[in-house]
Amino acid sequence: MRSRKKLFITLGIIFFVAISVLFLYSDLANPKNEKIIWGASFSPPYTRYLGLDVGETYKYILDDLGFRYLRLTARWDEIESKQGEYNFSELDYLMNEAAKRNAKVILAVGQKTPRWPECNVPEWTVHLSDQEYGDALNNFLKTVAQHYQNHPALETWQVENEPLFKFGEICRSLNAEKLNTEIKAIKNVDSVHPVMITDSGELSFWFNTAKAGDLFGSTAYRVVWNKRGGYFNYDWLPGVFYRAHALLFGLNLNNVFISELQAEPWMPDVPLSVDNIGEQMKSMDLNRVQKQLDFAQRTGFSRAYLWGAEWWYWLEIHGHGEIANYIKNLSK
């Protein structure tokens, strides 16, 4: 009798777990947000790395692909390569081209900004003390804020990129207190535009970042590569995982974006070339891009900024326009 009772209990538990798992991956738990807003990130240094012209590639993203929500970067090492001397010419061009088309920009600024190696700081900061470095960084933040606070294309500030997540080259120590100081440096100049803080969607708990700013941005890298294990994907994490994570912190989903939706390859440490397109497609091809877009819609977040627009253009130039042609239909 006891053995039969144990059997029923065991079967009941197995049934409950199975039903729970099925629900977790169902459309009911992961409804599709058909109203999601699509945006794209753009990086002049990465564009040049691919051998492309910055202006031509940027206009391709704006005009051919039709994006009207962009994420750009005010890189400290480029704008203030010499202490106290500022060169906004390239970023001014990008902001002005966006404004001509009524496009809206998230402008990332700080010591750790998008694109490898992420720690994009001027060489002259190396020998500064921590106090001097902090003062120089906050002065840079204020200068950038003063320069763009009234620009018609500016919509949102992004302070640092995944600031408390250890990835890429490590900048000077950055903790929650220092991050708050940087946010205040921007807000003391510009109290109108909101500030977004970002974090890893797969490898972070968001404890010190979820409510640090006015908006929150989660990255989403679903296919990664490392030397030990090769390729690994996160398809087993459904959209509801990200949504539940946001709701756990009491975030309004309208104020939560996917700040970087992977739509380019993550592959072994070799330069991209026409000779290894096959390797690139192992982690990002048209089918994977479609999966990424579907996943983004199922997070319930209000926007997703795609990561890889420069690469799509590079592919198209080299006779592989499938991804670019598919993306062009997003804005239609």
Residue located via tokens 């202490």: 83
Tell me the percentage of the chain whose pLDDT exceeds 70. 92
Residue type, 142: K
Distance CA 140, CA 146 (A): 10
Segment 281-296 mean pLDDT: 98
What are the residues facing 37 on neighbouring strands? Answer: 303
Q: Is the pLDDT of residue 2 over 70?
A: no
pLDDT band at 275 (very low <50, low <70, confident <90, very high): very high
**200-214 average pLDDT score:** 96
Spatial separation of the C-alpha atoms in residues 1 and 321, rounded to whole Å: 67
Q: What is the mean pLDDT of residues 189-218?
A: 97
Residue 47 has pLDDT above 60, yes or no: yes
Identity of the residue numbered 80: E
Q: Average pLDDT of 44-50?
A: 97
Nearest 5°: phi and psi at 159? -95, 115
Strands (E), 22-110: 37-41, 69-75, 104-110
Judge whether residue 256 has pLDDT over 90. Answer: yes
Q: Which residue has the tokens 């997070």?
A: 299
- Tell me the two tokens of residue 34: 């058909």
Residues 6 or more apart whose Cβ sits within 8 Å of residue 213: 159, 183, 194, 195, 196, 197
Do 277 and 13 meet the contact criterion of CB atoms below 8 Å apart?
Answer: no
The pair of structure tokens assigned to 121 is 């700081």
- 105 CB burial (10 A radius; 0-12, 13-18, 19+): buried
* Rg for the chain, CA atoms, rounded: 22
Tokens matching residue 46? 């990465």
- Residues 172-202 have pLDDT tens digits of 889 999 999 999 999 999 999 999 999 999 9
Q: Distance between CA 59 and CA 102 in Å, rounded?
A: 14
Q: Residue 18 has what pLDDT?
A: 59
Supply φ then ψ for residue 25, to 5 degrees: -105, 10
DSSP 257-285: EEEEEE-S---SSS---GGGHHHHTTT--
**Average pLDDT, rounded, for the chain:** 93
**pLDDT tens digits, residue range 142-170?**
999 999 999 999 999 999 999 999 877 77
Tokens of 264: 């380019």
